[in-house]
Amino acid sequence: MVDDSHHTAPSDHTLEAQRRFLEESPMDWDDGADWVNARRGLVARPAPGVVEGPSGRAAWELDTYSFLGEPGREGPEAPGSVNPSLWRQARLNMEAGLFTIADRIHQLRGFDLSEITIIEGDEGFMVIDPLISMECAAAAMRLAREHLGDRPVTAVIYTHSHIDHFGGVKGVTSEADVAEGRCRVVAPVGMVEAAVSENVFAGAAMSRRAEFMYGATLARGPRGQLDAGLGKTNSLGTVTLIHPTDVVEASGQTLTLDGVEIEFQLTPGTEAPAEMNFYFPQFRALCMAENCSHNLHNLYTLRGAQVRDALAWAKYMDEAIVLNEGRVDLVFTSHHWPVWGAEDSMAYLATQRDLYKYIHDQTLRLANKGLTMLECAEEVRLPESIASQWCNRPYYGTVNHDVKAVYQRYLGWFSGNPAELHALPPEPAAERYVEYMGGARAVLQRARGDYDAGEYRWVAEVLNRVVFADPDESDPATAEAKALLADTYDQLGYQAESATWRNFYLVGAAELRTGGARGSSGMSTGSRDLVLAVEVPMLLDALALRLDPEVCEGQRLVLNLLVDPSGEAQPEKHVLWVENSVLNHRNGVHLDHADATVSLSKVELLMVIGGMGVGEGVSIRGDRGALERLAGWLDHPDPRFAVVTP
């Protein structure tokens, strides 16, 4: 067991909450179907040890979760520091290895947050969703070849645009194999654009928040990180990308890959902006990508992303039922274990469809009665017929924050109360709140009483004000407030059924105790392949996001650009100009009155954006200092910015 003792022990109130959860939750705790299905078809467990990533650091360490018990056996009961339902899911996600789930269909689970599905074609392997990291995907394929034979990868399918479904592609195939036609790469229309755009404009903020969501900086253990709901956690290896050779552009489109026929259903705007389900007629098997899983998913992901369309999600799920009812004996997905049997498969799709439709409909029913976002989130409760299904439990998304997502999608952040139109930002508001409440010491005294009474949500609310009211910690009570707030976050984390909520609370507690952001987890939404896939116009949009208006106020600059996107292609024409503290750009044109014309590669443009200066290979005609002036106007965000402190 790893050392996670720096987190406080579960309180008597938390122990009582866990006991009450067991008694009052609607699930059948004696139902062993998930355990049977998670172990069904086991061929081999992964070898113990570490998957080594770049620079010698670990990309994946499944062994660090051994405190959950040995896979395939009865394990320890949930400790008081873990919600019993989440403990069950964390143990199910330890059922790792190579599994044969049908004739010629296999899965590799427990090598990353997501999983690989292998279809045996006529000549080789078809790989569906090659994980996050190249190193983890390669390790998974080694186990597969050891038991299934050393066959080439003849096709790769990306089910959707999230990084855990394409990032490990160079661990299963190569650019050369794809370029020379030995391996085809299939993706839904818009997949590459969606993949890179999600990680460019808000990449720094998203990466920082992802550290909280997945708990990668936490110690592993009963008081630390133990799961992420969809899987154990995200790997920390090398993210790669190979562009598709085949794009699915419409539902009903069919392809034959290595002798295997596939029918596709596009589902844009569901779990991802670009996503697809697909059916294998000869195997009577349906891949539901990440539109289904064995938990409630996110309509809004806590790491930050655009809100997803719950209504479209439910409708595409129903379309999948209509398209496939009566011809499916197996449903498999990009996370968790499959569902077997025609009746159980359709029941699985139907209960997940109703899960998202219920949250959508009931949020808007209450909103139309005048309830605010927070009020809707408190009021919406799943009916027992939905909540009692293990596959609908909130290990990843929650009803509470999914309801807020639906409200935000339709009505935005504003409740309609004018007091919220121009509210004070956190620090000045906190200062006034604490002053009104009699000062930090008075708030702390009352908060201790509420903590002892188990009122953790309220204690978090008021102590967060104390912490933000005193950024310099000039009042000794602030340090005591931070310590008590950390203890409070521990208790809230222990009680959470959602792995992502637990991780957010526990990372928050850890950062309060260590005085701010901890060392980097190595998590990043960027990679060389992802960055090079970004089109130049999008890079120029990203450049505009870095412009510091105070530094360039009153300045004007026009640059013509000749950008070589790959080092081999014809340079692209672009022009950018700074005026009114705004950077605009146009594609395909130059302006006669430019201060300079700059010739550079895409990598050199990235160096300027990233604050690494002007490279030696950059050629400038005209004002030779123009590009350096622009570089000096750019802001460079600190990826370790504070979250739980001012």
Please answer whether residues 399 and 380 qualify as being in contact, where contact means their C-beta atoms are separated by less than 8 angstroms. yes
582 forms beta bridges with 579
- Predicted local confidence at residue 201, as pLDDT: 79
pLDDT of residue 204: 84
What structural domains and CATH numbers belong to the chain? 34-392 (3.60.15.30), 420-514 (1.25.40.880), 535-632 (3.30.1050.10)
- Residue that has been written with the tokens 């919406």 in this structure: 380
Q: Supply the pLDDT for residue 521.
A: 52
Residue 239 burial by Cβ neighbours in a 10 Å radius (0-12, 13-18, 19+): buried
In this predicted structure, what is the pLDDT of residue 394?
98
82 class by beta-carbon count within 10 Å (0-12 exposed, 13-18 middle, 19+ buried): buried
| pLDDT lower than 70: segments of the chain | 1-5, 516-526, 566-569
Helix (H, G, I), strand (E, B) or coil at 191: helix
Residue 3 has a pLDDT of 52
The pLDDT assigned to 5 comes to 65
- Cα 540 to its chain centre, rounded Å, is 25
pTM value is 0.94
How much is the pLDDT for 2?
42
pLDDT for residue 568: 64
Q: Return d(Cα 112, Cα 521) in angstroms, integer.
A: 16
Give the pLDDT of residue 1. 33
Q: Determine the Cα–Cα distance for residues 424 and 97; give it in Å rounded to an integer.
A: 52
Confidence at residue 610, expressed as pLDDT on a 0 to 100 scale: 75
Please give the distance of CA 563 from its chain centroid, rounded to a whole number. Answer: 32
Is there a contact between 206 and 300 (Cβ–Cβ < 8 Å)? no
Find out whether 601 and 582 touch, Cβ atoms under 8 Å. no
